[in-house]
Amino acid sequence: MPSKAYMRLGKNLETVVRLQGTFYDAKKVRRMEGKGRGRAAFDHITRSAIVFLVSSFEVYCEELLRECGAVQVKSVKKADELPSEVKETLEQYVLEKNQPLRLCDDGWKSVYNEIVEKEINALNTPSVRHLQRLFKILVGLPENGIESMPIDVKKLDDLIQFRGQITHKVKADKYVTIECVDEYMDCIRGLTIGMDKLLLKYMRNRYKMKKVPWKSVYKK
């Protein structure tokens, strides 16, 4: 099965799916009432769908980072075996706190988990730039990793910006159509599948693991 993060995403996206259904039901009722095909004030539904969509993706990213972190802690016996970017993250963290001895023996594992939670709790805008940084310093994934996926990741930043307009202004600068929601929903589904596959491939190659933490099997 896919990552636990992806499985949870499916459950969280059920809210967006229900909102899409509510929109189409409302449009159907409008037509039955003989009010024509004109644009109705239903974008409160589509605005809500966009907000839930981004929130679901943010939770996915947080859970995927935790999952990858757990894989590293399990796969690595000594801190020296970690990717250089992750080792640098650990060293900088304990030096700032003047606690270098915390890295001795298996102490690095608790320090690492502490950093993961700290970074995850600070994430409130899952943009491409922020995700590149987090997966680099916590997992060791090269910064161009996410951009190398065979999908248009730039749409993610468009979606994040769009969500920001809604949350800060209540209304977006333009009417939020159901087609827009459908398009961004497809974008998030494709992006998360791509991230699942990318991180799985990276960790399999990095740690030469015989038993994979999840499988690249996804329902269409």
Predicted model pTM: 0.91
Q: What secondary structure letter does DSSP report for 116?
A: H
Please list the pLDDT of the chain residue by residue as tens digits (220 residues): 899 999 999 999 999 999 999 998 888 877 776 665 555 678 889 999 999 999 999 999 999 999 999 999 999 988 999 999 999 999 999 999 899 888 889 999 999 999 999 999 999 899 999 999 999 999 999 988 887 776 778 889 999 998 988 888 766 667 888 999 999 999 999 999 999 999 999 999 998 887 889 988 887 5
What are the angstrom distances between the C-alpha of 117 and each of 50, 53, 70, 123? 26, 23, 12, 10
**CA torsion angle for 13, 15, 19, 20 (degrees, to 10)?**
30
